[in-house]
């Protein structure tokens, strides 16, 4: 890895020994290192994006809004306001004289036309510099229109994507607790935090919980509705996936409303089953537990022979995992192991020390762990470790493809559900198809394998 | 939607155009002086179209650099980039953030050069690309000008047959076509930029930190020795060709993007004059076949109504083609704010205006929301533009012929050929076939011969 890793990044790369790896993380990206990370705005935008009955107005020049127009694979069971791209499209004149007045007019016209349940106003880099008073514009328009208008402090330079998650959680926290339920809330009511309903995944999970006898009060934010979010404080438990983005909100709700939370993941058979058992255990109800056990038995019995047949055909393959959140890396390591694939490089854009400890404990000696990586490092590590498969997002895809490696998209743009039991099967099918296509015969003719 | 809010922007921001242009210099890595997100969003957006690695560095602004200026980060960024990529050139463009806080990138680069005298540095080129000024097209052309201004040397002797071609924002397939065309005229062409290989490369045996291809820095250095520059795109103002002419007196031929017969003729005529050679035989044959197909297809086309949108120069080119084949371009729209856009569209569509009087609308500086709304009323038979028109085409149940950028819901956007007789032939066949298929699909009988 000598020339591939810049000196100032060395501490963010480690090799697993005895289930441990010491790694630095949670640092700003190194200038000039071609980080795969995005910015604060991106973090806020991805979290709030799936709220389908709100206007999401990006206050800034048009680029930030244009790049995020209809970008996610998140789906709605009703309104589709989230699939439109709204921006104040600031011009030179606005930069000189200020954009607050334009923002105010823009908000009014959008609210009048689309009649949303709320509006989120995302401050982009330039807004933080020209000093528009976004808060007072939001307050004023909220008072006039009677809907919540929430500023999101997402100036790109204010930190990393994680700070954007926090800004989004802050906006959500302001919504929560502002509406009371119409009737009594069923006893086994939970909120799902951190599932974004990509390809309808949340609906799959919802069906499992329904079969168990658990009621979903609020979805935050997949297929999200403003009024549901406002009532979310009446849930008995927050079930939190995507810990990186949602932990702030879960802590807030625990402190403010006494709603406890549990961290889960829905990827892979182990984690999916644990998520259901954890919820049943929380409520301590034997019927709930029995139904969860029955569901897990049914699903696992149905899936295992299929998974087994994939494992027989995929055993011995090696994978690189590089995704945004470390919770996903952890689940993917387990899910890949289930189908016989060893993870030889594992990383994330925004992992925490405890996440990397978990990752190291799951991986074989020699596995490379990396935080906030870049194309040069990832391509070098992949080759050094002789990987066949890369799990990542759109920006990682060409790295894999140019190297003749199979690739699976596990990011927010995908259109295939990978969560839950059927998601695991989809994942296995996709991995299988990606590895077995005959096209690799032609492109790997002269490729050297295994770091030679 | 209104003057205060844009709904579904029909443009992206200036640094994107600059990064694409920088990719057309051999061994060049772009660096955006701004927040990390600018680079990442632009990478993701361009990868979705080109399906190629698109490494773009960022100076990764943090709060302190916004307050105290980004000079230190900038210098670190260059160090790291040089260490990791060993580039032949670094193309620096700014962002709305760095422009607004007043960072002087020109000064930063001079300081960097002054403090790194011992080792040979890559060519350092720059473009000012605040996203509140213009669109990705302004960014593209600013980068072309920046590439030339940063690299071209004083002329020593004019090189006969050497011609600069500034193609504008076209596809890699278009760039390959231009190279073939120049070679067939026996002209030694210098394309600025040339991302025909860097953004549409072959499969690799080993990972390359920087893709092969692009116009070498030494070639660009010699642009002032060329007999002339051909600058394509009617919307271009203060382009690289203008700069070369003003600075070194290199004559600049300003032509439209060669889409359609007339605009392609104009390019070939100019190349004919510059080379002193007639239209090469195989291009004469392509021209002949194109004309032959115009005749073969005309009955499927006359009076059909088209909505065309995208970058100004491409829209003008497509409008020019539609005008030649009897299609009525009822709406020509662009997110670009070029003042002359309307005039240029009207200039290339005189036959259509005569045949279908009072029907044509031209919208500059518009958004997709407005385009959708107008299209719903205008009831087109066909929509021609990038992938962003898909929802509109689906809603109106009319075919969408995908051209330009971005094409992210089909494979091969980077291989779509738009220019010259060959590109026009490709577009003509696509348009004609889309209308023939619609006719066939919409017929209750479903004849096999159409």
Contacts of A37 in chain B (CB under 8 A): 36, 40
The pLDDT of residue A412 is 81
Contacts of B424 (CB under 8 A, 6+ apart): B258, B259, B260, B261, B264, B290, B321, B418
Is B80 in contact with A31 (Cβ distance < 8 A)?
A: yes
Domain boundary among B282, B309, B325: B282
Residues B313 and B187 in one domain: no
Q: Which of B416, B445, B443, B410 is nearest to B429 (CA)?
A: B416
Choosing from A296, A330, A365, the residue where a domain stops is A296
**Partner-chain contact A66 B73, CB within 8 Å:** no
Statement to judge: residues B358 and B261 lie in one domain: no
Sign (positive/negative) of CA torsion A45, A46, A47, A50?
positive
Measure in Å the smallest separation between the Cα of B300 and chain A Cα atoms.
Answer: 35
Residues B262 and B307 in one domain: no
Residue B62: per-residue pLDDT? 83
Task: Check whether residue A110 and residue A45 sit in a common domain.
Answer: yes
Chain B contacts in chain A segment 301-340 (CB below 8 A): none
Residue A143 lies in a domain: yes
Cross-chain Cβ contact A109/B1 below 8 Å = yes
Nearest by CB to residue A89, choosing from B6, B48, B66, is B6
Whether A305 is covered by a domain: the verdict is: no
pTM of the model: 0.96
Instruction: Give the residue from chain A lying closest to B14, CA to CA.
Output: A63
Q: Judge whether B418 and B317 are in contact, CB under 8 Å.
A: yes
Q: Residue A2: what pLDDT?
A: 56
Instruction: With respect to residue B2, please indicate whether it lies within any of the assigned structural domains.
Output: no
Residue B231's beta-bridge partner residues? B166, B254
Tokens found for residue B177: 């076509």
Is the CB of residue A401 less than 8 Å away from at least one CB of chain B? Answer: yes
Task: Kindly give the residue spans of alpha helices, DSSP state H, lying in B299-445.
Answer: 312-325, 341-348, 350-355, 368-378, 390-396, 420-442
For the segment A240-295, what is each residue's pLDDT rounded down to a tens digit? Answer: 997 789 999 999 999 999 999 999 999 999 999 999 999 999 999 999 999 999 99
pLDDT exceeds 60 at position B433: yes
The Cα diameter of chain A in Å comes to: 68
Q: Out of B11, B57, B205, whose CB is closest to A62?
A: B11
d(CA B232, nearest CA chain A) in Å: 25
Q: Which pLDDT does position A78 carry in this prediction? A: 97
Locate tokens 């935090």: which residue?
A193
Is the Cβ pair B79, A32 closer than 8 Å?
yes
**A110 part of contact set with chain B, CB < 8 Å:** yes
- Asked if B205 and A447 come within 8 Å (Cβ–Cβ), the reply is yes
**Do residues B332 and B217 share a domain?**
no
State whether B187 and B131 are in the same domain: no
Q: Describe the strand order of the beta sheet including B57-58 as a list of residue ranges.
A: B57-58, B28-33, B89-94, B123-127
B55 by DSSP, 3-state: which? coil
Q: Do B35 and A157 touch (CB under 8 A)?
A: yes
Q: Would you call B13 and A160 a contact, using CB atoms and an 8 Å cutoff?
A: no
Minimum distance, in Å, between the CA of residue A76 and any CA atom of chain B: 16
* pLDDT above 70 for B36: yes
B5 lies in some domain: no
Contact A42, B37 (CB under 8 A): yes
Strand ordering across the sheet containing A13-15: A13-15, A368-371, A342-348, A318-323, A389-392, A406-409
Q: Are strands B382-385 and B361-363 parallel, antiparallel or unpaired?
A: unpaired
Tell if the CB–CB gap between B41 and A64 is shorter than 8 Å. Answer: yes
B147 inside domain: yes
Residue A450 pLDDT > 80: no
In this structure, what CATH number is given to the domain that contains residue B118? Answer: 3.40.50.1980
CB A327 within 8 A of CB A301: no
What pLDDT shows up at residue A411?
Answer: 86
Find the residue in A nearest to B13 (Cα).
Answer: A63
- Reported ipTM: 0.96
pLDDT score for A286: 96
Residue A266 CA, chain-centre distance (Å), reads: 12
Q: Give the residue from chain B lying closest to A3, CA to CA.
A: B84
CB contact under 8 A, A129 and B100: yes
For B276-293, the pLDDT digits (tens) are: 999 999 999 999 999 999
Shared domain for B213 and B94, answered yes or no, is: no
Q: Are B37 and A41 within 8 A, CB to CB? A: yes
Domain count, chain A: 3
Tokens of B380: 């087109």
Residues A21 and A48 placed together within one structural domain of the fold:
no
Verify that B242 and B318 share a domain, yes or no: no
Instruction: Say yes or no: A74 and A131 in one domain.
Output: yes
Do B96 and B177 share a structural domain? no
SS3 A51: strand
Does residue A161 lie within any of the structural domains? yes
Domain presence at residue B425: yes
Q: What are phi and psi of B9, to 5 degrees?
A: -60, 140
**Same domain, yes or no: A28 and A55:** no
Please report whether residue A212 resides in a domain: yes
Q: Is the pLDDT of residue B67 over 70?
A: yes
Is B447 domain-assigned?
no
pLDDT digits (tens, 9 = 90+) for B386-411: 999 999 999 999 999 999 999 999 99
Residues of A in contact with B40 (CB under 8 A): 35-39, 42, 395
Average pLDDT, integer, range B33-39: 94
**B34:A395 CB<8 A:** no
* Rounded average pLDDT over B130-138: 94
- Residue A128's pLDDT is 87
Q: Does pLDDT of A448 surpass 70?
A: no
Residue B52's closest chain A neighbor by CA?
A398
Q: Hey, is A117 helix, strand or coil?
A: coil
pLDDT, position A445: 54
Judge if B121 and B183 occupy the same domain: no
Based on the fold, state whether residues A318 and A423 are members of the same structural domain.
Answer: yes
Are residues B320 and B426 both part of a single domain? yes
Q: Which of B3, B91, B96 to mutate to test the interface with A (most CBs of A within 10 A)?
A: B96
Instruction: Kindly report the CATH number assigned to the domain that includes residue A418.
Output: 3.40.50.1980
User: Could you tell me if residue A238 is inside a domain?
Assistant: yes
Give the other-Cβ count within 10 Å of B168's Cβ: 27
Same domain for A419 and A341:
yes
C-beta atoms of A447 and B13 within 8 A: no
Decide if B41 and A67 are in contact by the 8 Å CB cutoff.
yes
pLDDT at A449: 44
Tell me the β-bridge partners of A371.
A348
Q: Which domain holds residue B337?
A: 296-442
Q: Average pLDDT over chain B, rounded to whole? A: 96
Among candidate residues B282, B310, B343, the one where a domain is terminated: B282
Among B1, B2, B9, pick the best mutation site for testing chain A contact (most A Cβ within 10 A).
Answer: B9
Residues of A with CB below 8 A from B1's CB? Answer: 109-110, 113
Q: How many CB atoms lie within 10 A of CB A70?
A: 16
Please answer yes or no on whether A375 and B53 come within 8 Å at the CB atom: yes
- Bridge partners of B13, per DSSP, are none
Domain that holds residue A423: 7-33+314-443
Residue (of B20, B25, B18, B22) closest to B217 by Cα position = B25
Substitution target in A7, A65, A125, A376 with the highest count of B β-carbons within 10 Å is A125
Co-location of A197 and A288 in the same domain:
yes
Q: Which of B151, B169, B202 finishes a domain?
A: B151
Q: Does A30 sit within 8 Å of B51, measured CB to CB?
A: no
Across the interface, of A34, A40, A63, the residue whose CB is closest to B12 is: A63
Chain B nearest-CA distance from A437, in A, is 16
Span A208-238, pLDDT tens digits: 999 999 999 999 999 999 999 999 999 999 9
What angle separates helix B420-442 from helix B172-184, to the nearest 10 degrees?
Answer: 140
Both B198 and B257 in one domain: the answer is yes
Q: How far B310 CA lies from chain A's nearest CA (Å)?
A: 14
Chain A residues with CB-CB distance to B208 below 8 A = 402
């Amino acid at each position: 890895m000598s020339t591939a890793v810049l000196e100032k990044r060395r501490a963010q790369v480690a090799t697993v020994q005895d289930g441990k790896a010491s790694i630095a993380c949670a640092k700003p990206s190194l200038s000039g290192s071609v980080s795969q990370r995005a910015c604060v705005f991106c973090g806020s935008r991805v979290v709030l994006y799936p709220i389908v009955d709100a206007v999401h107005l990006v206050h800034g020049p048009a680029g930030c809004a244009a790049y995020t127009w209809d970008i996610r694979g998140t789906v709605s069971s009703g309104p589709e306001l989230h699939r439109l791209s709204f921006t104040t499209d600031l011009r030179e004149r606005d930069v000189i004289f200020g954009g607050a007045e334009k923002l105010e007019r823009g908000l009014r016209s959008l609210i009048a036309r689309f009649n949303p349940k709320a509006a989120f106003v995302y401050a982009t880099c330039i807004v933080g510099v020209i000093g528009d008073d976004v808060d007072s514009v939001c307050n004023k328009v909220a008072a006039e229109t009677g809907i919540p208008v929430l500023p999101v402090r997402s100036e790109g330079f204010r930190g990393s994507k994680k700070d954007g998650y926090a800004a989004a959680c802050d906006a959500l926290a302001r919504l929560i607790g502002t509406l009371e339920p119409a009737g009594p809330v069923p006893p086994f009511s939970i909120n799902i935090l951190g599932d974004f309903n990509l390809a309808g995944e949340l609906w799959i999970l919802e069906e499992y919980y329904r079969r168990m006898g658990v009621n979903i009060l609020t979805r935050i934010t997949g297929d999200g509705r403003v009024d549901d979010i406002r009532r979310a404080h009446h849930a008995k438990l927050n079930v939190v996936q995507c810990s990186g983005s949602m932990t702030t909100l879960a802590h807030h709700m625990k402190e403010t409303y006494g709603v406890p939370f549990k961290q889960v993941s829905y990827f892979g058979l182990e984690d999916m089953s644990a998520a259901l058992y954890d919820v049943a255990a929380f409520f301590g109800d034997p019927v709930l537990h029995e139904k969860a056990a029955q569901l897990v038995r049914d699903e696992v019995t149905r899936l295992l022979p299929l998974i087994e047949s994939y494992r027989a055909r995929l055993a011995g393959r090696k994978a690189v995992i590089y995704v945004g959140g470390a919770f996903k890396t952890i689940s993917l390591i387990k899910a890949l192991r289930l189908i016989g694939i060893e993870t030889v490089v594992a990383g994330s854009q925004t992992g925490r020390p405890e996440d990397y400890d978990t990752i190291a404990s799951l991986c074989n000696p020699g596995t490379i762990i990396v935080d906030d990586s870049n194309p040069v490092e990832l391509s070098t590590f992949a080759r050094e470790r002789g990987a066949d498969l890369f799990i990542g997002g759109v920006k990682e895809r060409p790295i894999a493809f140019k190297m003749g490696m199979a690739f699976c998209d596990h990011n927010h743009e995908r259109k295939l559900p990978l969560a839950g039991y059927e998601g695991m099967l989809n994942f296995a099918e996709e991995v299988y198809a990606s590895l077995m296509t005959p096209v690799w015969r032609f492109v790997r003719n002269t490729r050297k394998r295994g770091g030679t | 939607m209104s003057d205060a809010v844009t709904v579904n922007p029909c443009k992206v921001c200036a640094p994107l155009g600059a990064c694409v242009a920088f990719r057309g210099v051999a061994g060049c890595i772009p660096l955006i002086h701004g927040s990390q997100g600018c680079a990442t969003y632009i990478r993701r957006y361009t990868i979705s179209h080109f399906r190629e690695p698109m490494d773009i560095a960022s100076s990764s602004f943090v709060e302190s650099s916004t307050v105290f200026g980004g000079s230190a980060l900038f210098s670190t960024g260059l160090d790291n980039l040089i260490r990791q990529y060993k580039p032949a050139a670094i193309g620096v463009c700014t962002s709305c953030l760095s422009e607004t806080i007043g960072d002087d990138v020109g000064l930063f680069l001079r300081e960097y050069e002054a403090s790194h005298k011992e080792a040979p540095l890559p060519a350092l080129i720059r473009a000012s690309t605040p996203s509140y000024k213009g669109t990705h097209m302004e960014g593209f052309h600013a980068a072309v000008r920046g590439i030339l201004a940063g690299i071209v040397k004083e002329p020593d002797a004019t090189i006969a047959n050497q011609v600069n071609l500034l193609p504008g924002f076209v596809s890699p397939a278009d760039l390959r076509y231009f190279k073939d065309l120049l070679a067939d005229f026996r002209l030694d062409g210098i394309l600025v930029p040339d991302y025909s290989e860097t953004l549409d490369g072959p499969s690799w045996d080993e990972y390359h930190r920087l893709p092969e291809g692009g116009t070498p820095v030494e070639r660009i250095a010699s642009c002032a020795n060329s007999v002339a520059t051909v600058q394509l795109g009617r919307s271009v103002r203060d382009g690289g060709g203008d700069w070369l002419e003003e600075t070194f007196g290199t004559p600049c031929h300003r032509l439209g993007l060669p889409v359609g017969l007339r605009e392609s003729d104009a390019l070939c005529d100019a190349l004919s004059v510059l080379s002193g050679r007639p239209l090469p035989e195989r291009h004469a044959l392509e021209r002949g076949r194109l004309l032959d197909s115009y005749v073969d297809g005309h009955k499927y086309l006359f009076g059909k109504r088209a909505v065309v949108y995208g970058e100004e120069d491409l829209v003008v080119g497509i409008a020019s083609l539609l005008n030649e084949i009897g299609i009525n371009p009822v709406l020509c729209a662009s997110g670009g704010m070029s003042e002359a856009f309307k005039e240029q569209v009207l200039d290339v569509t005189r036959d259509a205006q005569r045949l279908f009087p009072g029907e044509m609308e031209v919208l500059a500086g518009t958004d997709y929301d407005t385009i959708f709304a107008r299209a719903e009323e205008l009831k087109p038979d066909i929509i021609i533009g990038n992938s962003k028109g898909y929802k509109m085409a689906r809603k109106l149940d009319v075919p969408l012929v995908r051209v330009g950028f971005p094409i992210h819901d089909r494979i091969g956007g980077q291989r779509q050929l738009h220019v010259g007789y060959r590109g026009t032939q490709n577009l003509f066949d696509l348009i004609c076939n889309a209308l023939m298929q619609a006719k066939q699909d919409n017929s209750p009988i479903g004849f096999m011969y159409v």
